[in-house]
Amino acid sequence: MSSNTLLRVLALLAALLVVWGAVALFRGGLSDAPAGLDLPHLTAADVDRIQLATPADTARLERGLTGWTVNGYPADASLVTDLVSALADSGLSTEVVARSAGSHARLGVDSLGGHRFRVLRGDRVLVDLVVGNQGRAYQTAYVRQADRDEVYLLRGRLATTLDRNAEGWRDRTIATVTPDSVAALRIERGSRAVSLTKAEGGWRMSNAPADSAAVARVLGGLSNLAAAGFASDSEAATLDFARPDRRLLVMNARGDTLLALAVDSTASGIWVRRGAGPTVFRLDAWRLDELTPADSALRAR
């Protein structure tokens, strides 16, 4: 090998060493911030309280002796379980997208536009995130830890779960009546009322056979009856359940009342109260005639 060739090889090796050193230095600079968001792996049993504060409202989820509540109302426990399990999965699918506080407003994770998400057990804060804008892809959002400047792109179910408002966490169950436990029904529509009883040969309306398929539709609707929403305090104050538009009574073979629903309809919706309970549910319009059909629809053909 000539001396000129040897010099060229040494110069090339020196250039490669410079490039390698620059890459190593650059990677070392990135190591100051975690590559992914460090979130704890929790179950619902590990958590006492969850707080989700948005500019519009704040959802305060608390675990009590009888289950989860949100702002004092019964909460949907399955949604809480899903939230905590989604939290455990999310730390593996995050990446740093910004490191300075100057990016916070643009990504929606500043103190004005961001949503605060906190998970607590006793006095310990297990998770404290600021949730910002949704990402371009489905089920993505920008988040940062409340005490850090780094912003992460979060992927997964947690991104959409955190977008639920306070009402969205409430338990929408109105009734879960087992059809086989029902022996009698009374349906009132204004001044008209019809009573149905289960006999050995099938359902009867007064002394005539009833349409068993129509009765089955009523019972099927009661097996898992869920609300479309809830009345606000101001809406509930305008309703009159002492003289409801419709009423439904469901009884077992002993004559015990399994369910009592009163319905009041207004221009803003169809409202239902169970017994003398404090909660007023909003019912989908198509559900009303399914649960309280006219007597003509209940007669056997």
Can you read off the two tokens belonging to residue 294?
């006219």
Q: What is the DSSP letter of 225?
A: E
Structurally, what CATH architecture does the domain formed by 44-167 represent? Sandwich (2.60)
Candidates 144, 137, 122; CA nearest to 34 is 144
**Total Cβ atoms within 10 A of residue 90:** 24
Residue 33: band (very low, low, confident or very high) from pLDDT cuts 50, 70, 90:
very low
- Report whether 251 contacts 202 (CB < 8 A): no
- As a whole number, mean pLDDT of residues 127-134 equals 93
The model's pTM is 0.79
Phi first, then psi, for residue 99 (nearest 5°) are: -125, -10
Percent of the chain surpassing pLDDT 90: 62
Domain ranges in the chain are 44-167, 173-298
| Whether residue 9 has pLDDT greater than 90 | no
